[in-house]
Structure 1
Amino acid sequence: MSATVEHPAVVGKLSTLDRLLPVWIGAAMAVGLVLGRVVPGLGDALSAVEIDGISLPIALGLLIMMYPVLAKVRYDSLDAVTGDRRLMAGSLVLNWVIGPALMFALAWLLLPDLPEYRTGLIIVGLARCIAMVIIWNDLACGDREAAAVLVALNSIFQVVMFAVLGWFYLSVLPGWLGLEQTSIHTSPWQIAKSVLIFLGIPLVAGFLTRRLGEKARGRDWYESRLLPRVGPWALYGLLFTIVILFALQGHQITSRPWDVVRIAVPLLAYFAIMWGGGYLYGRLVGLGYERTTTLAFTAAGNNFELAIAVAIATYGATSGQALAGVVGPLIEVPVLVGLVYVSLALRKRFTPIDTAASAGVGR
């Protein structure tokens, strides 16, 4: 996938694939919804084979989607990211303190009469993004190395904290506040398997591709010749994943439109607040454009694959909790695509000097 969607002046030079990204994503969502409604037994066929609770076609789409972007990461520059305490602290607080608390508050505030959807949204808020955020960050010309580090950090915390935070936000905190309590059943090993499959495989593949490619032909060849050929597959994988995901859940989404609207309202507020909070923090502490953008998208994105898998495993495939997880990407995908363009429009507000200084090196 190209990361060149930078400024209106260069839009005309982009490939049709990149320039019309919102159109392709909207079309993929529509195609998936239609297929899910008009092709009998399609959902059962797509779900017949699963990897860690995720449909095999979706799993393949996610792996194809993530590999090209991770192949672009300059792994020898990661130490410049891990030493940025402002970035690391901001990510931890936004993802693991503010994010879950905000989704809990929005779910109870806006869905007090719908406990199943409320629980599903809280689960979404606990599942921090480790997949699609890499795509949004790359399109918005964020810091690839920072994205790789923050996604890895989220993965570690996800394994350790997901079940603990689920117990706290669904059982302990509601009890303290005199609200209805529920429960969640998952294990750190279940989370770890998801992380190892959907992040570990493309991460290792991307690292080895760069290492072996640069060793054989040099960095200039790798970045100017090989990456342009590999890059578009990230978008192909994204579009394929969206089609399959919405084909699987098309009936649920189209048969309960008002419920989808009710679930969408807190999600819209959540994405806007989290992205805006990350952007504001980055501006205040002087992270520069690339790392501010990376922080904002990693804060706003969620791991809907994990949320859906946990909801289905705990409450069933036809439950309201599962539907809330499914509506997550229905809202997240177009909203974060829109925020990619908002980010690019705001890029001119950052001075090149500040941006280069925040990264430690020129990109």
Structure 2
Amino acid sequence: MGLFERYLTVWVGLGILAGVGLGLWVPGAFQAIAALEYAQVNLVVAVFIWVMIYPMMIQIDWAAVKDVGKKPQGLALTLVVNWLIKPFTMAALAVLFFQYVFAPWVDPQSASEYIAGMILLGVAPCTAMVFVWSQLVKGDANYTLVQVSVNDLIMVVAFAPIAAFLLGVTNVTVPWQTLVLSTVLYVVLPLAAGMATRHALQRRSSHAVADVVARTKPWSITGLIATVVLLFGFQAGTIVAKPLVIAMIAVPLIAQSYGIFFISWWGARWLKLPHNVAGPACLIGTSNFFELAVAVAISLFGLNSGAALATVVGVLVEVPVMLSLVALVNAWNPQKSTLNP
């Protein structure tokens, strides 16, 4: 592992502190960057995410993608966890904490909005960051691409009905611009660039792909840290103004992340998945498509609602939690063929 990867947790921690500090020091700069968005997708964040996942896209071998159908267990695990388990456990945890555990400290209206925001996060599995987590656990790039692509296709038809059912409303409108634009920016464009780059490199020499991937890895980590700085900078004022509320919302979100991870891990062991498939499969369900969740929360409940705040807290806790889970996957089985503790 290189210097960036070996001390990734330290760099992310420094990025969080830098983001909060800069957000408080020069809030106008972050407000200007936050305004550079279209369909609730921040274009600057999109660029950094693009930088993050481009090196992994170069590794995707299209000749091997067709072989995923020969071992569908990992894909089946991802889909079962993401669509039959995760939304409902998130709803249950949200209700448990905000209607019972935290009820003495939160008024009923705010509690219902926090619950709604967490439900929206639970119904929106991640798209872009999955490629980063997969790379960090040495996942199969081809298999991860198929998992993400199938997830996105299902999200198109399943997000609105499941969200409507769990929220108890029937007027959930999917922000198609956000969904489509995010998929294009985070998957289609970097994938096309990666394919073109791989094709050109393979024509040059047999080891050119590996050389370029090795050289671009530090840029991938840099993109991740820059994204962290921006996300925490955008919300620095909220973090300082409402620390107790953010901490309360974070509790069920963190419990959900670790719970979904361990459910997936047990499923991976039962299915005897190879490590490079099991690792990403266990991580996909624990990460969220926060742009989609934030956009729906704002459209349904308003920009300053508790639901919007809950989705933002999901963004804030995701990276630290996911890094700890990446560490678990690598510690449990960095070399072997199956995922065991």
* Alignment TM-score, normalising by the size of structure 2: 0.91
In the TM superposition, residue 92 of structure 1 has moved relative to its aligned partner by 1.0
Instruction: Specify the SS of the correspondent of 1:236.
Output: helix
* Equivalent of residue 26 in structure 2, options 39, 48, 52: 39
Alignment partners' CA distance in 2, 1:43 and 1:314 = 25
Q: Provide the C-alpha distance between the structure 2 equivalents of 1:60 and 1:96, rounded to a whole number of angstroms.
A: 29
1:226 paired residue among 212, 215, 218? 212
Whichever residue aligns with residue 14 of structure 2, its letter is A
CA–CA distance in structure 1, aligned partners of residues 154 and 161 of structure 2: 11
CA distance in 1 between partners of 2:140 and 2:288 (Å): 19
Asked if residue 142 in structure 1 is aligned to residue 139 in structure 2, the reply is yes
Pairwise mapping of residues 1-363 of structure 1 onto structure 2 (< 5 A)?
A: 14-112=1-99, 113=108, 114-171=111-168, 184-188=172-176, 190-214=178-202, 216-223=203-210, 225-347=211-333, 351-352=336-337
Q: Is the 8 A contact 2:175 2:295 kept in 1?
A: no
Is the Cα–Cα contact under 8 Å of residues 28 and 243 in structure 1 kept in the other structure?
Answer: yes
Structure-1 separation of matches of 2:145 and 2:236: 32
Is contact 1:147–1:298 with CA below 8 Å preserved after alignment? no
- Deviant stretches of 4+, over 6 Å: none
RMSD across aligned positions (CA)? 1.9
1:111 counterpart SS class: helix
Distance 2:22 2:171 in 1: 34
Query: 8 Å contact 1:67–1:234 — kept in the other structure?
Result: yes
For the 8 Å contact 1:124–1:307, the answer to whether it is kept is yes
Aligned to 2:102: none
Q: Kindly provide the CA deviation profile for residues 5-52 of structure 1, in whole angstroms up to 9, marking residues without a partner as x.
A: xxxxxxxxx322111100111111111111222214233211222133
Counterparts of 1:337 and 1:182 in 2: how far apart (Å)? 36
Conservation of the 8 A alpha-carbon contact between 1:158 and 1:191:
no
Letter in 1 for 2:304: T
Gapped regions of structure 1 (runs ≥ 5): 1-13, 172-180, 356-363
**Residue equivalent to 1:7:** none
Seen in structure 2, the aligned counterparts of structure 1 residues 122 and 322 have a Cα distance that, compared at 3 Å, is same
Q: TM-score, normalising length from structure 1?
A: 0.85
How many residues align? The count is 329
The 3-state SS of whatever aligns with 2:239 is helix
Paired residue type of 1:140: V
**Equivalent residue number for residue 361 of structure 1:** none
SS at match of 1:240: helix
Residue identity over aligned pairs, in percent, reads 33
What are the superposed Cα offsets for residues 204-234 of structure 1, whole Å, 9 maximum, x if unpaired? 11122112221x21332221x2211222221
> Counterpart in 2 of 1:8?
none
SS in 2 for 1:186: coil
Q: 1:300 and 1:163, CA in 2 relative to 1: closer, same or farther beyond 3 A? A: same
